[in-house]
Amino acid sequence: MEKGSQSSSTTLARTKSDQLVETLAAAFKSPRQSDQQTPPGTSESGGTLSRKSSKRVMMGASPRRSSGDNNNTYIRKSRSAQMKLDLEELSSGAALSRASSASLGLSFSFTGFTVPPDEIADSKPFSDDDIPEDVEARTCKMKFQTEPTLPIYLKARDGELCKDQRTWLTLSGSVFSFGQMRTCKVTSTKERRFTDVTYKVIIKGMTSCEERDILNGITGAVNPGEVLALMGPSGSGKTTLLNLLGGRLIQSTVGGSITYNDQPYSKFLKSRIGFVTQDDVLFPHLTVKETLMYAARLRLPKVLTRQQKEKRAVDVIYELGLERCQDTMIGGSFVRGVSGGERKRVCIGNEIIINPSLLFLDEPTSGLDSTTALRTIQTLQDIAEVGKTVITTIHQPSSRLFHKFDKLILLGKGSLLYFGKASEAIVYFSSIGCSPLIAMNPAEFLLDLANGNLTDISVPSELEDKVQMENSETETGNGKPPPAVVHEYLVEAYESRVADTEKKKLMAPLPLDEELKSKVSSSKRQWGASWWQQYCILFCRGIKERKHDYFSWLRITQVLSTAIILGLLWWQSDSKTIRGRQDQAGLLFFIAVFWGFFPVFTAIFTFPQERAMLGKERAADMYRLSAYFLARTTSDLPLDLILPVLFLLVVYFMAGLRLSASHFFLSMLTVFLCIVAAQGLGLAIGATLMDLKRATTLASVTVMTFMLAGGYFVKKVPVFISWIRYMSFNYHTYKLLLKVQYQDIMPTVNGIKTDSGLKEVGALVAMIFGYRFLAYLSLRKMQLHCEA
């Protein structure tokens, strides 16, 4: 009987276990399964739990669940339970009880015992809120992987720090610390004095120069795992402060000192700082995957193989929830591509792909709707939770966005109005007499204060007397103090109540590891690829990006239609008569002018249009300027030389020029030399002026002068101006084309000797290299300004 009862009990347990397995299998086959899939190549258990999620796991299942999410909760928790089950344990009642408890989030008795709540929490690897869901893509993605980063200490002079994961920044009297501090033995208690950091710009007028203060001393701190928001009205200095912290401003214009690990800013730090600009600077014709692939190959260390770099790019795509649009073009003004939120996440991915110690973002939510903006800020929270330090400027966030920030700096006219926890900002301003009189968005309340607007805000008692006195004198007024008075009051209140306390907290001396100090002070850059690899990568990227423009139907139609019209006008012209030779000379001169004019105005746009991209990538030390310049100029050659071949194939045979292979290929080579020389002139003008209007005007005058001095319109040019024709590529191209066609027929054509043409070839080659060298020097000069 005992054996029978045990057998029946075992059978019952197994039967119920089988039923539970069938229930879980049915749940996985639900229509919402596809919405909850984990992207391929990721591991649900390999993600890093957030701080909030970790707390929930330790406390067990949270009882707060909305009724509308019951089905999704059951499916997710069933998956969680299934991950912890073993097929061999399903036969035992303990395993069945544990699986049931984990799937239902309850603790109850089954087969004679009770599962403790701690075991329920342990059997539940993540809760409903632990699976991040992409708002746009509606797919689950893994959390950001925790990777070790180089600790960077940004601190003032005379400071001694320990080697941990704390990052300090001191702007003389303004102290910023970034990082997580461990217990450090203080070896120095030397007193330090700081002067407030200042940043000024000089505004030049017609008759005078004016200095304007942008920043007037800032203090703050943020730890890894936190997001610091820089808020303030337009013109308050948010972007200037962000650029100062990221090392993007010229140091000579900054008052005070900025040090990193007690050392000044060095080029080594460029590879440790991620900086996302406000504008989404991306190539429109590259896909999301191609953009991140090229960034990984250029920026990740040399020790990684190409496969490892590309795998890291794929991981970032899934971390940011971009797998749905990874094969979609980025898009731009005239190219349809990804959405605004996806573009912003691609920009963020370009920076986090190098695992930066600090991540700076300038207005990451500009132009986004509220849902996409919330998703972007949630992405920043995920990045911070794995140990990164995130600093971002924000203009006017919604209330939901505001509560996502850990710390807040409020600026007004370059002065610090508040620094501390974002959740305590309202409490602080209420303590100084500025409380909201109606329910409002905290961000709107703070921006009103920064602007000096006390509408629907209580007036501090210190200002009420001033308002009454001013109203009694002027007999006008609305009972509110002027903005300048409010601003002065807020600055004085912060300096008297909070500033000294915050500085004392942040100025404690800490011991510094010399090895870490020497790393940051190194002036040697860390390139992610060799010079040749940089050239090859940029060459391939350039061809992929610009092939859409070069082979557009508009450009092909323009070239072919011009060729057909020329062929019809000079249809089977006769080169044996003087009249026929004069007509052919006109055709050859037009060919020289057309393929001198066309490349100039195409190349003018090259560097002005890519200036933002060049400045962004060079500031991050993605490649050497020489590698970029050579790749940029040579990648255009294959594309620039295809359409001239089609042009000559049509014109040459329709016009009846000399039907010989040698003469045809020599004519084509002459046109190629003209195109490359004209392209060099356009590159030089564009790189020198970096302004499309001025560059176009200068190019028009230059090309017109070269055309008039090209030897067709004016045969005898005055001596004092005859030097212009020797600088004209039209002149040398025209002479070469005449010599190719009539070298064996007659000694002179239109006063031009039909000799070998080596002088003209040498002149065009000199122009090809000379103009490009001038363009490179102009870019180098521009980069010196950007890198200072």
**pLDDT tens for each residue of 657-702:** 888 899 899 999 999 999 999 999 999 999 999 988 999 999 999 9
Q: Is the pLDDT of residue 58 over 90?
A: no
Task: Give the pLDDT confidence score for residue 122 in this predicted structure.
Answer: 39
Task: Give the pLDDT confidence score for residue 576 in this predicted structure.
Answer: 74
Task: Give the pLDDT confidence score for residue 657 in this predicted structure.
Answer: 87
Q: pLDDT-based confidence at 330, cuts 50/70/90?
A: very high
- pLDDT (tens digit per residue) in 497-526: 888 777 777 665 555 566 665 666 666 777
Angle, CA 721 vertex, CA 718 and CA 725 arms, to 5°: 100
Residue 571, number of CB atoms within 10 A of its CB: 10
Task: Give the pLDDT confidence score for residue 637 in this predicted structure.
Answer: 86
Q: Is the pLDDT of residue 530 over 90?
A: yes
- pLDDT (tens digit per residue) in 482-505: 888 899 999 999 988 888 777 777
Q: Is the pLDDT of residue 43 over 70?
A: no
- pLDDT (tens digit per residue) in 565-624: 999 999 988 777 778 788 888 899 999 999 988 899 989 999 998 999 998 998 888 999
Q: Is the pLDDT of residue 772 over 70?
A: yes
> CB within 8 A of 304, min separation 6: which ones?
312
Residue 141 burial (10 A CB sphere; 0-12, 13-18, 19+): buried
Task: Give the pLDDT confidence score for residue 512 in this predicted structure.
Answer: 56
Q: Is the pLDDT of residue 193 over 50?
A: no
448 and 483 Cβ atoms separated by less than 8 Å: no
- pLDDT (tens digit per residue) in 547-562: 888 888 888 998 999 9
Task: Give the pLDDT confidence score for residue 423 in this predicted structure.
Answer: 92
Give Cα separations from 478 to 434, 487, 488, 733 (angstroms). 17, 18, 19, 77
Of 486, 479, 474, 373, nearest to 429 by C-alpha is 486
Task: Give the pLDDT confidence score for residue 478 in this predicted structure.
Answer: 60
Share of the chain above pLDDT 70, in %: 66
Region 421-430: mean pLDDT is 93
The two counts, helices (H) then strands (E), for the chain are 29, 18
Region 49-77: mean pLDDT is 40
Where is average pLDDT lowest: 173-177, 252-256, 669-673?
173-177
Task: Give the pLDDT confidence score for residue 536 in this predicted structure.
Answer: 96
Of 499, 619, 525, 516, nearest to 179 by C-alpha is 516
Alpha-carbon distance of 77 to 125, in angstroms, equals 9
Which one-letter DSSP state was computed for residue 577? S
Region 379-404: mean pLDDT is 88
Where is average pLDDT lowest: 240-254, 292-306, 309-323, 572-586?
240-254
Region 149-154: mean pLDDT is 53
Region 103-125: mean pLDDT is 36
Task: Give the pLDDT confidence score for residue 669 in this predicted structure.
Answer: 94
Task: Give the pLDDT confidence score for residue 205 in this predicted structure.
Answer: 65
Q: Where are the domains of the chain?
A: 538-787
Q: From start to end of 194-237, where are the E strands? A: 198-204, 209-216, 220-222, 227-231
Mean of per-residue pLDDT scores for the chain: 74
Task: Give the pLDDT confidence score for residue 324 in this predicted structure.
Answer: 93
Helices within 551-640 (DSSP H only): 553-569, 578-603, 606-609, 611-619, 625-640
Predicted TM-score (pTM) of the model is 0.73
- pLDDT (tens digit per residue) in 227-253: 999 999 988 889 988 888 888 876 556
Q: Which two tokens stand for residue 785?
A: 């300004």
Helices within 441-530 (DSSP H only): 442-450, 461-474, 483-494, 500-506, 514-521
Task: Give the pLDDT confidence score for residue 105 in this predicted structure.
Answer: 34
Q: Is the pLDDT of residue 123 over 80?
A: no
Q: Give the count of alpha carbons within 13 A of 257, CB side only.
A: 14
Share of the chain above pLDDT 90, in %: 32
Task: Give the pLDDT confidence score for residue 626 in this predicted structure.
Answer: 94
Task: Give the pLDDT confidence score for residue 168 in this predicted structure.
Answer: 42
172 and 196 Cβ atoms separated by less than 8 Å: yes
Residue type for 623, please?
Y
Q: pLDDT-based confidence at 196, cuts 50/70/90?
A: very low
- pLDDT (tens digit per residue) in 76-93: 434 444 444 343 433 444
Of residues 297 and 45, more confidence is placed in: 297
Task: Give the pLDDT confidence score for residue 417 in this predicted structure.
Answer: 93
Q: Which two tokens stand for residue 334?
A: 């005239």
Task: Give the pLDDT confidence score for residue 366 in this predicted structure.
Answer: 86
Q: Is the pLDDT of residue 285 over 80?
A: yes
159 and 517 Cβ atoms separated by less than 8 Å: no
* Identity of the highest mean pLDDT range in 15-19, 33-37, 502-506, 576-580: 576-580
Alpha-carbon distance of 757 to 733, in angstroms, equals 10
Residue 82, number of CB atoms within 10 A of its CB: 17
Task: Give the pLDDT confidence score for residue 210 in this predicted structure.
Answer: 72
